Chains A and B, each alone.
Chain A
């Protein structure tokens, strides 16, 4: 089976979620990559070095500059004549584009897979990760999004893919990119950080959220996350949110501070290797899944912890 993996990139490098998708793709069949964008040739060359990659299709066109789904999906559909499966990382871009591709191919997408069980059989989480479904596709072609934290990253060296320039559909011309407002951060990206410190509503204010969590994150070289309550209260921007409707993370260590542990939050972090909970409520649900728990006032504990690390 020939798979086409959508490369997500920032014109400089491919992201970790893509490398995980490559690993999933390699379990299904021969891996081809699609690098779409404007001035993305450098990423195409990087992509060709990824271990196990066959062809790298590079579509360099202003139409793909901002990954508008109308244009990218049309391009992918053109390429799917020669591929049996389209695989995208389950990032906001992947989730935006892949279902559009699936509908154009008249197939059902399998979202957010956790494992490859057979040619057309996969597992995926449902009900906020409270159940794992094994699903088998009856469609001729597959369209899949891959949960980045469920697969190892493919090696970025050792491959010798063949680069091929491609062009294709550019969409219906009914949408345009206006602007982007990216949160600036020097910290590790949340979905690939090995340590995450995450704060909840208990911080009480945006000021204390940053005053307390930022130094701790600096000490641990950690990414900073937040619960939905903290985001809704304005303590942290929305792309910090960890959970069913935010980011899914699985770091080596996840420190949940002042987070009670609602179902929707757990869905985003319960596959972390070690979970540390700091909460003043000893009955908080988070303690039921935490490997290490400390009951107490975060306003005292967090500064003390930062100092002693």
Chain B
């Protein structure tokens, strides 16, 4: 079966984002961008399933600007077989991304779609669930362990109190949590090979999807700044402070 792996180009997770002074957003000019960390985990999981002989082909797909090609090339260098870029310079909300992915899934008929649980820029945590809803397929979110069979997938999920296991009929949608796996690095030879792998470029219009945003961001501001307090010399001073605050 095929696996479809959506990936997003986001600000690198090590970069501390700066809010623009006019409140219009976060300054992304000249900022290092990378593949969303959860999506790396998705790509890795798909590759491991392919290495285990359970998946034949991995298709990476991204919605975003022309530069998102780099993100797709990274996925190809890790081990994806081909890529699709749905190119747009507009802001695309999770609902619109889910609708685009639904169209891609209709064309490609993947048995499994593996997404990251959330993107570290908008922190929405929606796209996978929305895609599952639009396709009327089962969802296994926050996956900690994935066991794929020919007609079903068993997913151990990270939930608030611990872990939960669900069994889903294929095709199914999975979203990855941090502890699903440790993504591999792309080797230099594989990066070179990835340049020759197929990458199709499409537009939202090719799929007939209206990506007009439903939400308007009227302002983006800095969170309230916490001031550093004081350092105490020893445990006795700490205990005195805690007692003064009524904590101990």
- Residues on A facing B (Cβ under 8 Å): 66, 68-70, 73, 91-93, 95-104, 106-112, 121, 125-139, 172, 174-183, 191, 195, 219-220, 228, 231-232, 237-239, 244-245, 247, 252-253, 263-264, 270, 274-276, 282, 287-295, 301, 304-305, 308-309
**With A182-B162, A220-B247, A239-B162 as contacts: A293 and B231 at CB distance below 8 Å:** yes
A/B interface sample: 18 pairs, CB < 8 A: A96-B139, A99-B125, A100-B133, A101-B133, A103-B134, A108-B213, A111-B125, A125-B223, A133-B220, A176-B167, A178-B166, A181-B165, A228-B178, A275-B226, A287-B231, A291-B229, A294-B234, A308-B235
Q: Shortest CB–CB separation between residue B211 and chain A, in angstroms?
A: 11
With a CB–CB cut-off of 8 A, which chain A residues contact B123? 111-112, 125-128, 244
Q: Shortest CB–CB separation between residue A276 and chain B, in angstroms?
A: 7
Q: Which residue of B lies closest to A291 (CB)?
A: B229
Range, interface on chain B: 35 or more
Q: Shortest CB–CB separation between residue A229 and chain B, in angstroms?
A: 11
With a CB–CB cut-off of 8 A, which chain B residues contact A252? 247
With a CB–CB cut-off of 8 A, which chain B residues contact A294? 231-232, 234-235, 237-238
With a CB–CB cut-off of 8 A, which chain B residues contact A287? 228, 231
With a CB–CB cut-off of 8 A, which chain B residues contact A107? 95, 214
Q: With A and B bound together, what is the CA distance between A177 and B167 in angstroms?
A: 6
Q: With A and B bound together, what is the CA distance between A252 and B242 in angstroms?
A: 11
With a CB–CB cut-off of 8 A, which chain B residues contact A181? 162-165
Q: Which residue of B lies closest to A228 (CB)?
A: B178
Give the contacting residue for A263; candidates B16, B159, B237, B241; CB below 8 A: B16
Does chain A have a CB within 8 A of B206? no
Q: Classify the secondary structure of B's interface with A.
A: mixed
Q: Which residue of B lies closest to A101 (CB)?
A: B133
Give the contacting residue for A132; candidates B94, B142, B222; CB below 8 A: B222
Q: For B177, B220, B221, which residue has the most chain A Cβ atoms within 10 angstroms?
A: B220
With a CB–CB cut-off of 8 A, which chain A residues contact B221? 131-132, 134
Does chain A have a CB within 8 A of B239? yes
Are B218 and A134 closer than 8 Å at their CB atoms?
yes
Are B130 and A100 closer than 8 Å at their CB atoms?
yes
With a CB–CB cut-off of 8 A, which chain A residues contact B117? 245
Q: With A and B bound together, what is the CA distance between A187 and B40 in angstroms?
A: 35
Are B142 and A92 closer than 8 Å at their CB atoms?
yes
Give the contacting residue for A183; candidates B11, B141, B162, B217; CB below 8 A: B162
Are B219 and A133 closer than 8 Å at their CB atoms?
yes
Q: For B17, B172, B215, which residue has the most chain A Cβ atoms within 10 angstroms?
A: B215
Give the contacting residue for B94; candidates A93, A109, A126, A292; CB below 8 A: A109
* Total inter-chain residue pairs, C-beta < 8 Å: 254
**With A95-B141, A174-B137 as contacts: A292 and B241 at CB distance below 8 Å:** yes
Q: Shortest CB–CB separation between residue B223 and chain A, in angstroms?
A: 5
Within 8 A of A (CB), among B102-148: 117-118, 120-134, 136-142, 144
With a CB–CB cut-off of 8 A, which chain A residues contact B120? 127-128, 244
Are A121 and B218 closer than 8 Å at their CB atoms?
yes
Are B216 and A109 closer than 8 Å at their CB atoms?
no
Give the contacting residue for B226; candidates A97, A127, A191, A270; CB below 8 A: A270
With a CB–CB cut-off of 8 A, which chain A residues contact B130? 99-100, 102-103, 109
Does chain A have a CB within 8 A of B49? no
Are B160 and A93 closer than 8 Å at their CB atoms?
yes
Q: Shortest CB–CB separation between residue B172 and chain A, in angstroms?
A: 8
Q: Shortest CB–CB separation between residue A299 and chain B, in angstroms?
A: 13
Contact with A along B11-22 (1 / 0, CB 8 A): 101101101000
Are A131 and B230 closer than 8 Å at their CB atoms?
no
Are B138 and A172 closer than 8 Å at their CB atoms?
yes
Does chain A have a CB within 8 A of B34? no
Q: Shortest CB–CB separation between residue A173 and chain B, in angstroms?
A: 8
